[in-house]
Structure 1
Amino acid sequence: MARIGVLSISDGRQHVHTRNVEFIRLKRDALVESLRAAGHEVVDPAAPIASNAEATTAARRVAAAGVDLTLLYYTVWAFPHFTMLAADAVDTPLALVASTDPTEPGLVGMLAAGGALDQIGREHSRLWGEPNDPELTAGIGSRATAAATTAGLRGCTFGRFGGRPMGMNTAVANTDQWQRLFGIDVEEIDQYELVLRAERADAGEAREAREWFEQHAAGVHYDGVKLTPELLERQIRSYLAAREIIEERNLDFSGIKAQPELTENFATMDITEALLNDPYDWNGPKRPHVCATEADMDGALTMRLFGDVAGTPALFADVRHYHADRDVWDLCNSGQHATWFAGRSDDPAANLANVHLCPEVFFFPAGGASVQHVAAPGTMTLGRLTRSGGHYRMQLMLGEFLDLDADTTEDLVRRSTPEWPHAFARLDAPADTFLSRFGANHIHAVPGDHRAVLRAVAEQLDIELEEWTRG
């Protein structure tokens, strides 16, 4: 939920304003009540704006309250220059909202104000409806949540462990562009820091964590070569090392290159990445820390946005295969999926009961455990920030993680890499469209339909939205 500032704009003629003020207040109070009932915090200076001085003063009061979105409310004819002065005093996204009560020209007020803002190039969105209209409340809420999400990026630091993985250009972004567009700094960290700190991490805690996995996971499949208790504890110590660095350097989200240096000479980072993205570990509940495998910068940024909007961990996966005969996508990557996706339960034991720790495959000679499970079913929002010609775009779609029968699931898992986690999905995007136009091999997902908020995120970040449906 978000913090919304509400400014009611009135007529500048005192005798007209006096006649209108009670009508404005009734409408405004109903709108504020609807927004608060939806869970938003509302900052409301109370008195409708009827002069240039009031416009500036009230807007500065709203700005000082640290709101995410400034809402300008039009229930009557309103002098447009009040909007211009108020807009100049705030730096948040603007939403112009008009009452549709035909007894007063609220729509006229909004259109006059919106046209004036267009003339100076001030971006804003426009909505209209009765103050207790659920669609209006949802529309405002989407824009407010988007504003809180985008504002939350500014001042963040991304920790990039290692550089470009295996020549993967889509995993590397321009740090100047990130600073300019999103306000995000990038801290470069050598992967050897993980090795050094893992070696001196708390062995007792690593043993406790290994026993936690052995107790709660569906299976820890030691083979004496690629997966041993010692290797699993090395991976856990790598998580402890990453957690320590994240705290020391105040990292807000991160990515780990891993391949090939760590995966060939130390251990895979699958356990580290899964635990960082999870909302818990053996110590109990914690805030998920977005961590992208292969140090995928745009992937991590997508996960950060999606996760903040949904309030859940975000999935990271390769687009591994399309089973055209079933219209099923296999979204699979080497252990990156947070264990939370195995059951999407608040109880870690319920999720881990569906998770197997398997010996790593031939790609990774150093060994360790991959975090194998099949993602729980449900409606999902999927997509990614990608770039075309140096410009960002958000590629977005709705989909469904499927609950296939046991025999079908086993068959599809074994057709690719059974040791890795899988999400079997049906996407709203037609396969030809997706494969022809999707701008990366990695895709991301969160539970639920969050497209309305993400559309507003794209609008507020001034990036292209490319949304796909079967229609």
Structure 2
Amino acid sequence: MARIGVINISDGRDYVHSGIADFIRGNEDKLVQSLEAAGHEVVRGSAPVSANSVATSVAREVQAADVDITVLHYCVWAFPHFTMLAAGQISGPLLLLANIDPVQPGMVGMLAGGGALDQIGRRHTRLWGDPTDKAVIDAIGVHASAAGAVSSLRGSTFGRIGGRPMGMNTAVAATDQWQRIFGVDVEEIDQYEIVRRTELADPAEKRKGREWFERHATVHYDGKKLTPELLEKQVGSYLAMRSLIDEWNLDFTGIKGQPEMTQYFATMDIVEAVLNDPYDWNGPKETHVCATEADMDGALTMQIMKHISKTPVLFADVRHYHGDKDIWDLCNSGQHATWFAARSDDPAENLAKVNLYPEVFFFPAGGASVQHIAAAGQMTLGRLTRNDGKYRLQLMLGDFEEYDKETTESLMKMSTPEWPHAWARLDAPGEVFLSRFGANHIHAIPGDRRAELRAVCELLDITLDEFTRG
């Protein structure tokens, strides 16, 4: 969950503050207890702000605690310049929260302080209600989660392994724009590093990974494009990427893959799927976002979504629209993390639904594709795209669906049965989606997380382009 700072803003008259200090502290206790009960870590200001010097000193304390978001709490009338002084010491997001109390005019204090912030162009969010109200606490959590996702980007490094794939302009972003908007650096690394490090990988570890797949998934060796040796090469490429990530301190990555690796070395499907999983053959691990085709905007979208959902993020091509059923086939080689097969923390449960097939003719170097059907459930789908050079988040709600075996096989055969599929029903008409969506890749996380992603747009000052049937 998030790390939240709480600062109470009070009246600047000594004789007034002394009479309301206990009331302020009692309301602060309720707010902090509610936030902590919701799973957040709270950093409390050392004292209610009742003087100029206190406004700056307390705000500096909270700023130094590296919080994701700071809540300025108004449960009484508060001198507006205290808000300005505190805000001047806080570089992160601000949320102004007012109690609704007919006796103590906290709402008035919030409006006065918020209006002053408006005058200088300081962005902030306003909420109001009882500090024990779950709806209020949930709303704070939404903004705190978004703030945490945005702050996690700043100072992070994206590792781009290889360059632009197959002329795909939507996969390439400007590094100076990334620094300016998101605070992300880009490290350029040649794909030969995967080849070189694969050859140096521990043979015992490569064998261990191959045997793990053979034990838990269904491996369809054909003696040509998928052999134990090729599967071990793919496992070695995963180990190569792990060493690059550790050595270069890469927070998220993308691998070009096509056409060089898929034509002459091995497909990167195993690498990308397992990096995006919360486990490998050695047990649980932190999910690492890795986008196929070195898709920079895709990886950036996934990194934001991962921090919001705390789950793996799906990466797919928008492969086909079945107009007669109003469903979409979201499919892209082996990029789907195996976690999506059953959405289980037990890899054996997911891999029981996974097939490793010999790669198709697109990828003559061979290796395994990671095939499964994404489990059913509500999903939030979207992607950061650019329109005339400006970022926007294209966002929608949808559902992944599962069908009987006969229907599933029929749908798969219409595209590429050896690849993973997610059957998606989107909250957007087909003609609207195809007319407006700004890329061939899309990303998804479980549940309805649109509120957090809307807040991310506000924090980053980028356009929200939301799709609905309404």
Q: Normalising by the residue count of structure 2, what TM-score does the alignment of the two structures yield?
A: 0.98
Q: Note if 1:201 corresponds to 2:201.
A: yes
Aligned residue in 2 for 1:454: 453
The letter for the 2-side match of 1:439 is G
Aligned residue in 2 for 1:310: 309
Could you say what secondary structure the match of 1:417 adopts? coil
Q: Which moved more, 1:420-429 or 1:6-15?
A: 6-15
Cα distance in 1 for residues equivalent to 2:120 and 2:221: 66
Cα distance in 2 for residues equivalent to 1:31 and 1:258: 50
Q: Which moved more, 1:44-53 or 1:4-13?
A: 44-53
**Deviant stretches of 4+, over 3 Å:** none
Could you say what secondary structure the match of 2:212 adopts? helix
* Map 1:119-198 → 2, pairs under 5 A: 119-198=119-198
The letter for the 2-side match of 1:109 is G
Q: Note if 1:100 corresponds to 2:78.
A: no
Cα distance in 2 for residues equivalent to 1:289 and 1:44: 32
Shift of residue 105, structure 1, vs aligned partner: 1.5
Cα distance in 1 for residues equivalent to 2:58 and 2:131: 21
What is the CA deviation profile of residues 107-162 of structure 1, one whole-angstrom value per residue up to 9, with x for unaligned ones? 11111111100111111010111111111111111111111111111111111011
The letter for the 2-side match of 1:221 is H
Aligned residue in 1 for 2:260: 261
Aligned residue in 1 for 2:427: 428
Aligned residue in 2 for 1:14: 14
Shift of residue 46, structure 1, vs aligned partner: 4.7
RMSD: 1.0
* Map 1:396-435 → 2, pairs under 5 A: 396-435=395-434
Q: Note if 1:331 corresponds to 2:330.
A: yes
The count of aligned residue pairs is 470
Aligned residue in 2 for 1:288: 287
Shift of residue 462, structure 1, vs aligned partner: 1.1
What is the CA deviation profile of residues 381-428 of structure 1, one whole-angstrom value per residue up to 9, with x for unaligned ones? 110111111111111111111122222111111111000000001111
Quote the sequence identity (%).
Answer: 70
The letter for the 2-side match of 1:53 is S
Aligned residue in 2 for 1:441: 440
Cα distance in 2 for residues equivalent to 1:324 and 1:434: 12
Q: Which moved more, 1:461-470 or 1:441-450?
A: 461-470
Aligned residue in 1 for 2:33: 33
What is the CA deviation profile of residues 82-118 of structure 1, one whole-angstrom value per residue up to 9, with x for unaligned ones? 0000000111100001111122211111111111001
Aligned residue in 1 for 2:245: 246
Cα distance in 2 for residues equivalent to 1:399 and 1:416: 21
Could you say what secondary structure the match of 2:246 adopts? helix
What is the CA deviation profile of residues 319-347 of structure 1, one whole-angstrom value per residue up to 9, with x for unaligned ones? 01111111111100011111111111111
Aligned residue in 1 for 2:390: 391
Gaps of 5+ in 2: none
Cα distance in 1 for residues equivalent to 2:164 and 2:47: 55
Could you say what secondary structure the match of 1:367 adopts? coil
Q: Which moved more, 1:309-318 or 1:99-108?
A: 99-108
Aligned residue in 1 for 2:278: 279
Q: Which moved more, 1:351-360 or 1:399-408?
A: 399-408
Shift of residue 47, structure 1, vs aligned partner: 2.7
Cα distance in 1 for residues equivalent to 2:338 and 2:145: 27
Aligned residue in 2 for 1:319: 318
Shift of residue 21, structure 1, vs aligned partner: 2.1
Shift of residue 194, structure 1, vs aligned partner: 0.8
Could you say what secondary structure the match of 1:224 adopts? coil
Shift of residue 30, structure 1, vs aligned partner: 1.2
Shift of residue 19, structure 1, vs aligned partner: 2.5
The letter for the 2-side match of 1:401 is F
The letter for the 2-side match of 1:104 is Q
Shift of residue 456, structure 1, vs aligned partner: 1.1
Cα distance in 1 for residues equivalent to 2:362 and 2:23: 70
Cα distance in 2 for residues equivalent to 1:458 and 1:154: 15
Could you say what secondary structure the match of 2:398 adopts? strand
Could you say what secondary structure the match of 1:320 adopts? strand
Aligned residue in 1 for 2:89: 89
Could you say what secondary structure the match of 2:353 adopts? coil
Aligned residue in 2 for 1:71: 71
Cα distance in 2 for residues equivalent to 1:197 and 1:63: 42
What is the CA deviation profile of residues 46-98 of structure 1, one whole-angstrom value per residue up to 9, with x for unaligned ones? 53211111111111111121111111111121110000000001111000011
Cα distance in 1 for residues equivalent to 2:63 and 2:181: 22
Asked whether the equivalents of residues 148 and 307 of structure 2 are also in contact (C-alpha less than 8 Å), the reply is: no
Gaps of 5+ in 1: none
The letter for the 2-side match of 1:317 is A
Cα distance in 1 for residues equivalent to 2:34 and 2:467: 32
Could you say what secondary structure the match of 2:231 adopts? helix
Q: Which moved more, 1:200-209 or 1:264-273?
A: 200-209
Aligned residue in 2 for 1:346: 345
